[in-house]
Amino acid sequence: MPTGLLTDDTASKIVTTCRTAVGDSLRSVTYFTRDDYEQLYLREDLARDADLTSFIGHEWRGFKTTQTAYEGSELGDYNYTIRVFDNGFLIRVTTDREGVFATTDGLTIKDFEEVATALKSFLGDRDLE
């Protein structure tokens, strides 16, 4: 699945971060920027035909729209997004230049918080590079 957008080491760290937080409930992990993406992990029992280009466009625009809409609100800073579907969940963690979305089977809010915190820390550290 690698496209060269990330080093193998960085891709592995992102997947390990997600796997550590959610274990076998992890379905997929995709790293993205505004212009490109790389699916880093896809569980073996899942179909490999998702239209990731549409997902990435929506998730990037969604991040920017959400960040702008709630900027300065009494809710505080935007942290991450959870989307709920019939067959699983999607969590998106994004910075101004990159993001990760992971899909999972059922999780608790605590599980989502753990993966979001770990990914935000990882992406934040990359902003310092």
Task: Sketch out the chain's domains with CATH numbers.
Answer: 8-127 (3.30.450.30)
37-42 and 81-85 beta bridge pairing: unpaired
pLDDT along the chain (129 residues), means of 10: 75 92 91 88 85 75 75 84 87 87 85 85 67
Task: Specify the pLDDT at position 127.
Answer: 53
Are β-strands 26-32 and 81-85 bridged in parallel, bridged antiparallel, or unpaired? unpaired
Quick one: which H or E segment has residue 37?
strand 37-42
pLDDT for the residue numbered 31: 93
pTM for the full model?
A: 0.82
Residue among 123, 117, 37 nearest 79 (CA): 117
Question: What is the distance between the alpha carbons of residues 13 and 41, in angstroms, rounded to a whole number?
Answer: 11
